[in-house]
Amino acid sequence: MKYVIFLGDGMADEPQDALGGLTILEKAHTPNMDMIAREGACGLLSTVPDGLPPDSTVANLSVMGYDPRECLEGRGVLEAAAMGVEIGPDDHAMRMNLISVTEGMIRTHSGGNITTAEAAELVKALQEQLRYDGVEYHSGVSYRHVMKLTCPASKAIRCMPPHDHLDEPLEDHLPTAAAPEGEETAALLREIVLKSNDILENHPVNQARAKRGEQMANYCWPWSIGRRPKMKTFAELFGVSGGVISAVDLIRGIGVYAGMAAPTVEGATGLWNTNYENKADAALKVLEDHDLVYIHLEGPDEAGHEGSLELKLRAIEDLDRRLISRVMQGLVREPARFAVLPDHYTPIRIRTHVANPVPFAIMGTGIAPDSVQTYSEKSCASGALGQLAGDEFMRRFIG
């Protein structure tokens, strides 16, 4: 048996006035998602335990059957694992965004969707010009990078996710201490953020972006501090081998710590312009030697953060037409199960994550169909599988 999970990050949304009260999923042309719902069973999944933020780390760990309350250590350390950055038992790691700030306001969490090549030059400049003992900057994909702290540091700090505070003052969200032991770490991070501006804004990469009328990635922004997580492997938990396909180092890092295959995919961008076909082919390649593949698409989430109905609609339809169809056709002769779901909502109205239970559909060998005919937030709520939480989705999917 082969198992395939199609995860459209943040693709659930609210009804849109511009669409006559339909959600983007309801409006989108998604014949393959609809087939999974029509020929399978549906329900809702709570992916964010009470007391935790609706972060992609939390939500994807939940979908994959892990309890984030037990193994959550911040996304930085997960992304470091995917990048091959060794994090020792006494080290800390943080996600480091390159963000766009104008007139003191955080405009984008993504440096204006900066390219990986441009970002690599900016991170190199930080490495050379913003030096502190025990602080390292590691370049990742697009705006997503890692700060490694080998100096004494504390997790007792508050570092806000920049995508939660768009069009708000940068000064209001600089790192602060959550307890007295966090004061020194918070002060170091504030100094790094503020000093990064002069280096980044005057860099030739950003000067060229400004001349082209593009947003500058003119601040670095560390957040989500953590140490190495303690996790059982996916095979230990569920008795099947697996792999993850994603452009996002966060998801690939979860896969690394879960003992799963986590290949890099040429042309995978983490945006709506990703290479869907290469990701589909990489998933099929993983399934040659493994039982399960978790295919993560970041594009719908990024479109949600952009507040763009058109981009989100396009990302969802491309996921269905260019990836889901290709993978399902590649497994047409094998007994298999397929699932489709988001990890959380990212409504375009508010441009950030929401912890609503997400719609899911499961189709394939041994799954009895229910009455649901199309895949959407509303239709899946009436599915036979009801509302699940925690590892119930993965256990139900694998059976």
Query: What average pLDDT does the segment 2-25 reach?
Result: 98
Of the candidates 234, 207, 183, 261, the one whose C-alpha atom is nearest the C-alpha of residue 63 is: 234
Listed in order, strand segments (DSSP E) in 194-262 are: 219-226, 242-245
User: How do residues 285-331 score in pLDDT, each as one tens digit?
Assistant: 999 999 999 999 999 999 999 999 999 999 999 999 999 999 999 99
Query: What average pLDDT does the segment 277-286 reach?
Result: 98
Distances (CA, A) of 307 to 10, 26, 108, 312, 353: 12, 18, 11, 9, 12
- Rounded to two decimals, what is the model's pTM? 0.82
Q: What is the pLDDT of residue 74?
A: 82
Q: How far apart are CA 150 and CA 266, in angstroms?
A: 32
Q: How far apart are CA 249 and CA 121, in angstroms?
A: 19
Sequence-distant (6+) residues with CB within 8 A of 314 are 272, 303
List Cβ<8 Å contacts ≥24 apart for 71-76.
71/229, 71/230, 71/231, 72/226, 72/229, 73/226, 73/227, 73/228, 73/229, 74/224, 74/225, 74/226, 75/224, 75/226, 75/250, 75/253, 76/146, 76/147, 76/222, 76/223, 76/224, 76/225, 76/226
Q: What is the pLDDT of residue 82?
A: 86
Sequence-distant (6+) residues with CB within 8 A of 173 are 106, 160, 162, 165
User: How do residues 84-141 score in pLDDT, each as one tens digit?
Assistant: 899 998 999 999 999 999 999 999 999 999 999 999 999 999 999 999 999 999 999 8
SS3 376: coil
DSSP per position, 68-130:
HHHH---HHHHHHHHHT----TT-EEEEEEEEEEETTEEEESSTTT--HHHHHHHHHHHHHHS
The domains found in the chain, sorted by start residue, are 2-72+230-398 (3.40.720.10), 81-226 (no CATH)
Q: How far apart are CA 331 and CA 266, in angstroms?
A: 22
Distances (CA, A) of 71 to 4, 9, 180, 226: 24, 21, 25, 11
Average pLDDT of the residues of the chain: 96
Query: What average pLDDT does the segment 234-256 reach?
Result: 95
Retrieve residue 264's tokens.
């890099």
Q: How far apart are CA 153 and CA 74, in angstroms?
A: 14
Phi/psi for 110 (5° steps) reads: -115, 10
Q: How far apart are CA 399 and CA 365, in angstroms?
A: 10
Q: How far apart are CA 64 and CA 251, in angstroms?
A: 10
The upper half-sphere exposure of residue 257, i.e. CA atoms within 13 Å in the direction of its Cβ, equals 28
pLDDT at 214 over 90: yes
Phi/psi for 139 (5° steps) reads: -80, 135
pLDDT at 147 over 90: yes
Of the candidates 105, 70, 37, the one whose C-alpha atom is nearest the C-alpha of residue 378 is: 37
Retrieve residue 263's tokens.
């290949």
Q: What is the pLDDT of residue 3?
A: 98
Q: What is the pLDDT of residue 73?
A: 84
- Count Cβ atoms below 10 Å from residue 132 Cβ, excluding itself: 12
Listed in order, strand segments (DSSP E) in 117-205 are: 135-141, 144-149, 157-158, 176-177
User: How do residues 300-313 score in pLDDT, each as one tens digit?
Assistant: 999 999 999 999 99
Q: What is the pLDDT of residue 270?
A: 85
User: How do residues 154-207 score in pLDDT, each as one tens digit?
Assistant: 999 999 999 999 999 999 999 999 999 999 999 999 999 999 999 999 999 999
pLDDT at 72 over 90: no
Q: How far apart are CA 55 and CA 346, in angstroms?
A: 10
